Amino acid sequence: MFAAIFPAVSTRKGRFNVRFAATSADVEAAQRLRHLAFVTARGQRGSGSGLDSDDFDALCRHVLIEDAKTGQLVCTYRFQDFQGGGDLSRSYCAQYYDLDALARYEGRMMEVGRFCIHPDWQDADVLRIAWAAMTAYVDASGIDLLFGCSSFEGTDWMVHGDALAMLKHRHIGPKHWLPKIKAPNVFKFAARLRRKPDAKRAARAMPPLLKTYLMMGGWVSDHAVVDRQLGTMHVFTGVEIASIPDARKKLLRAAAM
């Protein structure tokens, strides 16, 4: 399965190489792609360094997916493991969400973040390979719960009204794990939205990464955090591995072989 979780310099998967960042230059390449995707492509004003970086980079492992012919970095994401909910205070999500309920979770957890694909790459295989790599690691490491923040472009909730209404009607997480409000600027969509969602509009507006989580049985928080610095709104997202439909597990594991 991905050469026992791609321990070598790189593991070839079709037209892509998949590997962990091994040097500071590798991490900087990931930060540069993140800046391109999260700042430049969104028309935001960055720090001027051309890098999207924070203190969590030093705590995480960084996955790099590169074009095998040119070596161009086309996708990256980072993750960190938690032996149980008691360690969640050091997670990225804990900055924005009160995770006291999940602190009781006893299984092994993995936070996935800063997921981005190069804006010039529209190849659906990139997302498929990214998920295959994640699946290989989850299976090998015995992860029980994936979690992270899933972002919508823009901070105007009305633009995402149907998608947020769909989240309310079908995908709010179980009450015993649900994060509470911590961030100062949030939109309480589960409490405020009353309309029935238009399924087609909701599907078109749902971010691709979040859509994939939901197809695996994922759930979300009942509120969205508004991040004006990045020009996004994000929801806490969780996926319990045991709840992933068998057919979906089979597809993900086949791609990881």
Cβ atoms 15, 69 nearer than 8 A: yes
Cβ atoms 232, 185 nearer than 8 A: no
Give pLDDT, residue 45. Answer: 64
* Neighbour count for residue 137 (Cβ, 10 Å): 21
Q: Is the pTM of this model over 0.75?
A: yes
Give pLDDT, residue 165. Answer: 97
- According to CATH, the topology of domain 2-256 is Aminopeptidase (3.40.630)
Cβ atoms 138, 241 nearer than 8 A: yes
Residue 82, strand partner residues:
109
Where the chain has pLDDT below 50, the residues are 1-4, 6-9
Residue 15, phi then psi, degrees to nearest 5: -90, 10
Give pLDDT, residue 249. Answer: 79
Residue 237 parent element (H or E): strand 232-240
For 175-202, the pLDDT digits (tens) are 999 999 999 999 999 999 998 999 999 9
Give pLDDT, residue 257. Answer: 61
Give pLDDT, residue 20. Answer: 94
Task: Kindly state the percentage of the chain with pLDDT values over 90.
Answer: 70
